[in-house]
Amino acid sequence: MAVIFYVSSLPQAPIPPGTDKPWHAIGYFFCAVVVVRAVAGGLPRRIDARRGGLAIAIAVAYAVSDEIHQTVVPGRSWERADLIADTIGVCAGAAACWAWGIIAQASRDEL
């Protein structure tokens, strides 16, 4: 979240020219992984719907606050499309953690 805040504080994001939506999704994918793991208590623990939902809510709330933050940064603005890309990244990150937990549990069961 600190990295996202820092990049959002810059008047011009340090990304290649073109659409920034994939970068939003990638950044929030990793944000969600960290938040899910924090809520779940580490790797490779399985996550249930309650923990996954809580982590998604935290990460999306941060995405909303980040878009609001950008309204006070010169040269930046709030964009609904950015928030949608952020949310897609969050959901993909949470889904990856959920899948990781299932795979890890199946691997332990085989031993």
Domain ranges for the chain, please list them: 22-110
Residue 26 structure tokens: 């990638």
CA 61 – CA 19 distance, rounded (Å):
23
For the segment 31-46, what is each residue's pLDDT rounded down to a tens digit? 999 999 999 887 667 7
For the segment 40-81, what is each residue's pLDDT rounded down to a tens digit? 887 667 788 899 999 999 999 999 999 999 999 998 889 999
Inter-residue long-range contacts of 20-23, CB under 8 Å, 24+ positions, other chains counted: 20/82, 21/81, 21/82, 21/85, 22/85
For the segment 1-35, what is each residue's pLDDT rounded down to a tens digit? 999 999 999 988 788 878 889 999 999 999 999 99
